[in-house]
Amino acid sequence: MSDILQIVLYSLASGVTVILGGFLARLRVIPRNELGSEISHGVIAFGGGVLVAAVAFALVPKGMQILSLPILTLVFFLGAISFLFLDRFIARHGGRAAQLLTMLLDFIPEAIALGAIFSTDRKTGLLLALLIGLQNLPEAYNSFGDLRRSGFSPNRALLVLLPFSLAGIAAAVAGYSFLSGQPHLVAAMMVFAAGAILYLVFQDIAPMAKLHNHWTPATGATLGFMLGMMGEKILSSMA
Q: What is the pLDDT of residues 7-51, one digit of tens each?
A: 899 899 988 998 998 888 888 766 666 666 667 777 777 777 888
CA distance 223 to 229: 10
pLDDT attached to residue 76: 92
Cα angle: 168, vertex 79, 10; to 5 degrees: 20
Residue 70 has pLDDT above 90, yes or no: yes
| Residue 231 included in any domain | no
CA distance 142 to 105: 15
pLDDT band of 100, cuts 50, 70, 90: low
Q: What are phi and psi of 67, to 5 degrees?
A: -85, 150
Domain that holds residue 56: 3-208
Radius of gyration for the alpha carbons in the chain, expressed in angstroms and rounded: 17
Are 142 and 82 contacting, i.e. CB atoms less than 8 angstroms apart? no
Q: What is the pLDDT of residues 213-226, one digit of tens each?
A: 566 666 766 777 77
Residue 98 has pLDDT above 60, yes or no: no
| Residue 157 included in any domain | yes
| Residue 106 included in any domain | yes
181: helix, strand or coil: coil
Q: What is the pLDDT of residues 146-190, one digit of tens each?
A: 788 778 888 988 888 888 888 889 999 998 888 888 889 888 988
- Predicted TM-score (pTM) of the model is 0.77
Domain count of the fold of the chain: 1
| Residue 127 included in any domain | yes
Q: What are phi and psi of 68, to 5 degrees?
A: -70, 160
| Residue 224 included in any domain | no
